[in-house]
Amino acid sequence: MEIQVSKPALQWFKKEFDLKGEGEYVRFFARYGGCGAVQSSFSLGVNLDKPVTIGAKEEVEGIIFFIEDKDIWYFDGHDLRVKYSRKHEEIQYEYEKSE
């Protein structure tokens, strides 16, 4: 399982969460409810939180984007691609089957 965060998405997170860089954490997690692309009745949540047990991570400009080991099930063998849509001015999540 891999996480990839594009540079435009990184800039969005910095602005929206007032991130400065080194040593900050952004967590992606499974939450009950909503309309998820991978698991029925669940959707992807995001918050600022320190990790307990990291299942997957990517560090970009000192910011750690991660998924806890306990939430890996949600991705069902898919990698997470985090992008920014200029057209919609929002973050987009894409799921790609892991190799």
pLDDT of residue 40: 62
* CB distance 45 to 30 below 8 Å: yes
Give per-residue pLDDT as tens, 8-52: 999 999 999 999 888 899 999 988 766 666 666 678 999 999 999
Query: Whole-model pTM above 0.85?
Result: yes
What was the pLDDT predicted at 57? 97
Instruction: Quote the number of domains for the chain.
Output: 1
The CATH number assigned to the domain holding 36 equals: 2.60.300.12
pLDDT of residue 32: 73
Please give the order of strands across the beta sheet that includes 63-68: 42-47, 24-32, 63-68, 54-60
For the cut 70, the answer to whether the pLDDT of residue 74 exceeds it is yes
Mean pLDDT of 66-86: 94
Q: What's the domain range around 83?
A: 3-97
